[in-house]
Structure 1
Amino acid sequence: MEVYGSLVQQTLGDRVEPFSRPTQLLTSQEVIDALYAGVHDNAISNYMAFYSSELGGIVTDPALMVVSADDHMVHRGHAVFDTATLTQGYLYQLDDHLDRFYRSASKAALTPPFPRNQIRRIILETAAATKSFEGNMRYWLGAGRGSFGISPLECLQTSFYCVAYKSAESPDPSIGWKVKTSPVPIKDPYFATLKSTNYLANALVALDAQLEGFDQGVFVDSEGYVAEGPVMNIGIITHEGEMVVPPFEQTLAGVTLQRLLHLVREVLDSGGTDVLGFIKKVSQRPFKLEEAKQAKEAFMVGSSTVVMPVIQWDNTEFLQTKPTPEVGIIALSLRALLEEDMDPTANRGQHVEVPYGFLTNA
C-alpha cells in the first residue's frame, strides 16, 4: 500500500497534498464490512429499530439504519419529520403528532407513500420491534430518491423512515436552564411553522448558546419579540399571574405546549389552584425580550424537555430568594401537571398502546 501510494503521489504531482492517502474503490462486501466497523457506541446503545420504505421493512441492527444519498431529504433538505414519546409501552399524543406531520407535509408539497393508517401502523410496529417500553419514535417523509437535481419531480417516490431510539438522560429540572438570546436570524414564518429537516438555524442557535456557557438559545425577531428555542417552545409567568406563550405565527405549534395549555385551562376553569398556585390567566400573545426578562418566571416546553425552568436569561436571573432559593417553582408545578398527563395509567385518552408481539414473539 505504501509503494502504491508513492506511485500515485509521483503520478499526480502537485495535484495532491503531501502525505495524502489514495482513495479506495470498495467492493460490496467491503462496504458492508465498513458499515459494521463504523457503528459508533451511541448507535449500539441507543438505536433500537428502524423502518425504511426503501428497504420495505424494519431492521434492528444499527449498522443497517441507512438512507440513500440521492434522497432529496439528504442533499436538498426536502423532508418533514415529527417525534412521539414512547412511555410505559404507549405512544403519547401520537395522533396529534401525526396531525402536525401531515400539515407539514402539505406545506412542503409532499405526499406520503402510504395511507395514514399504514403510516400509523408502521410507527407502532417499529416501536413493538424494540421490545422496549420507553424511548422516542422519530419519523421522516422525504421527497425520495432519483436524482441530485433541485426539483422533486425527478424523484421516483416519496420515502418514509422511522427510527426508535432511547431517550437521552433528562436534565435535572430542579437545576433549571440558563438561556441566551441568539444572534442567529429567526426563520421566515412559513418555514418556522413547518417542521422540516432544515434545522441549520436551530443547530446554530444551540451551538452559539453552548459555546458561551448557556444551556439553550432563544430566537428573537428583529423587533425584539421572543419566538422559541432551538427545539422547544418558551413561555413566561408575569408578576400578575399571567402565563404567556408566543402565538404560533412565527413559531412551531408545539404539540406538548398545546396540551399543557389545555391542562392549565382545565384546572383554572375548575377553580383549582393547588397545582398551579400563582397562575390566574393563560394567554397566547406576543411579548418582547424586555417583558420576558422582567417576568416572575420563564420556562421551556417540549416533548423531550417536558417543562424546564429558566433560571437565567442572558444576565438576568430568575431566582426567588424568599425565604430560600427556589428554582422555577411554578414551572415545576406545570411540569408535574404534564407528567401526570403523560402517565398512561391516568387514562386521559392521549395514549396509543404499542402492539408488542408483532415480529417479536413477546
Structure 2
Amino acid sequence: METVAYYNGKISEIDDMMIPMTDRGFTFGDGVYDATMARHQKIFALDEHLDRFWRSMAAVMITPNFTREELTNILNDLLTNVTGEAYMIYWQVTRGTGRRSHSFPLDATPNLAVMITPMSLDRGKQERPYRLRTELDIRSGLTHVKTINLLPNVLAAQRAMQESVDETVFYRMAANGDTRVTEGSKTNVHMIKAGKLITAPTDKLILPGIARQHLLQAARSLGMPVEERAFTVAELKTADEVFITSSTMMAGRVVSIDGESVGQRDEAHFIPLRTQLVDEWYAETE
C-alpha cells in the first residue's frame, strides 16, 4: 500500500477510509494527536512521542481504551503494509462518537485513528536556509497539549506560505510590553548567543517538542551551556544563530525574520549541534 489508514480496527488506503460525522473530532476538534517519522520500518523516538500523547490525553480528560503496548503494536503492524524508505506516522484519539453536545459523557469510548504517508528524507532539508515571519500568538492556554484544534496554526502557516517564507513564529505580549517568543506554527524556535543554547521554557505557552528534547541532550553532550528561559523577538533577531526544530526536519538554520537578515554568526557551535541531531535521527532508524 502507498498509504495506510486505521480507524478503530479498520484498515485501508487513506482516501478510502470513512469516519462517522458524529465523531467528536469532526464536530468539536475534541481530541489529541502525535506524529513522528519512520525509516526502514523503525519509528523515531516512539517512547517519547507516546509519553507526550498520554500526557495530552490526561490533560483533556480522555481515558484511552487501549494500552501503550497495544498502540505500539498497532503502529508497528501498520508499518508492515508499506514498503518505501521513509514515512510520516500520525495518530490521534478523539473522545468518541455521539449526538452533538458540548458536554460529554465521562464513559465515552474513544476513537483511535492512524495515518501513514510517504515522506521525503533528504539531509539537504536541514542545510537549506529558512526564512521566518512573526505574528501575535492568539492561541489558547492549552498550547502545551497536542490537541487537534490547530486553526490558528493553519492560518499562520498559510500566511507564511503566501509571504514566501517557511514558518511563522508566534509571540505573546507581556505586561511590560515585551514580545515573548513562544514557538512556530509547527516547530520550536531556538537561538545561540555567546556560545549558549537558549530555548523557551516548557510552560503552557509552548508544545514540548521531541526534537527540542533531543536538541538539549545533544547540546549538553557537546559541552554547550543550555538556558531555558523566555526571550523576546528583539533578542531573537540579534542572536548569533537562530534555528527551528521538529521531529520530521530536526534543525533548520534561519537566515531572516520579517525580511531582516539574522544569525549566521556562530557556525562553530551550530553546525556540530545540527550534525549530531541529524546523525542521531538517521542512526536510530537504520
Please list, as runs of the form range in 1=range in 2, the aligned pairs for 1:40-55 lying within 5 A after superposition. 48-53=3-8
What residue number does 1:313 align with?
Answer: 257
CA 210–343 in structure 1, closer or farther in 2 if over 3 Å, else same: closer
Which residue does the alignment assign to 1:39?
none
Tell me, in whole angstroms, the C-alpha distance in 1 between the residues paired with 2:216 and 2:263: 24
User: Is 1:241 aligned with 2:241?
Assistant: no
Contact between 1:297 and 1:310, CA under 8 Å: does it hold in 2? yes
The 8 Å contact of residues 182 and 209 in structure 1, kept in 2 or not, is answered as: no
Gaps of 5+ in 1: 1-43, 269-279, 345-349, 354-362
Deviations, residues 87-126 of structure 1 (Å, cap 9, x unaligned): 2221111011000000000001111121221111111111
Identity of aligned residues (%): 24
Whether 1:231 aligns to 2:186 is: yes
> Do residues 302 (structure 1) and 253 (structure 2) align?
no
Q: How many aligned residue pairs are there?
A: 280
Corresponding residue number in structure 1 for 2:228? 284
Task: For residue 206 of structure 1, report the CA deviation from its aligned partner.
Answer: 1.1
Report how far residue 329 of structure 1 moved.
7.0
2: distance between equivalents of 1:329 and 1:293?
19
Of the two, which has the highest radius of gyration? 1
Q: Give the number of the structure whose residues are more often strand, by fraction.
A: 2
Q: Deviations over 1:24-60 (max 9, x none)?
A: xxxxxxxxxxxxxxxxxxxx9xx5111110xx2322x
User: Structure 2 unaligned runs (5+)?
Assistant: none
Deviation string 1:209-231 (CA, Å, 9 cap, x unpaired) is: 22222211101001201110011
Residue 170 of structure 2 corresponds to 219
TM alignment of 1:166-177, pairs within 5 A: 166-168=118-120, 172-177=125-130
Contact 2:189 2:245 in 1 (8 A): yes
Corresponding residue number in structure 2 for 1:195: 146
Candidates 98, 101, 122, aligned match of 2:50: 98
Aligned residue for 1:290, secondary structure, equals helix
| Of 127, 148, 161, the match for 2:113 | 161
| Aligned-residue CA RMSD (Å) | 2.3
**Alignment of 1:179 onto 2:179:** no
Structure 1 CA distance for aligned equivalents of residues 55 and 22 of structure 2: 25
- Amino acid corresponding to residue 338 of structure 1 in structure 2: L
Corresponding position of 1:150: 102
Partner amino acid, structure 2, of 1:64: D
Residue in structure 1 matching 2:33, options 81, 96, 103? 81
C-alpha distance after superposition, 1:109-152 (max 9, x if no partner) = 11112122111111111112223342111100111111122223
Amino acid across the alignment from 2:127: S
TM-score normalised by structure 2 residue count: 0.90
